[in-house]
Structure 1
Amino acid sequence: MSATTLSRPRHNRMIGGVCAGIAARFGVSAFTVRVLFLLSCLLPGPQFLIYLALWLLLPQEP
Structure 2
Amino acid sequence: MNGLYRPRHGRMIGGVCAGLARRFGLAPSTVRLLALLSCLLPGPQFVVYLVLWAMLPNEDRHHAAAH
Of Structure 1 and Structure 2, the greater helix share is in 2
- For residue 48 of structure 1, report the CA deviation from its aligned partner: 0.2
Cα separation, 2, equivalents of 1:33 and 1:7: 15
Q: How many residues align?
A: 60
Equivalent position of 1:30 in the other structure: 28
- In the TM superposition, what is the alpha-carbon distance from 1:17 to its structure 2 partner? 0.0
1:59 maps to 57
Runs of 4+ in 1 over 3 A off after TM superposition: none
What is the deviation of 1:19?
Answer: 0.1
Q: Which runs of 5+ in 1 are unaligned?
A: none
Provide the alpha-carbon RMSD of the alignment: 0.4
Give me the TM-score of the superposition, normalised by structure 2. Answer: 0.88
Q: Does 1:16 align with 2:14?
A: yes
Percent identical residues: 67
Which structure would you say has the larger Rg? 2
The unaligned stretches of length 5 or more in structure 2 are 61-67
Equivalents in 2 of 1:10, 1:23: separation in Å? 14
Residue 33 of structure 1 and its aligned partner are, at CA, apart by 0.1
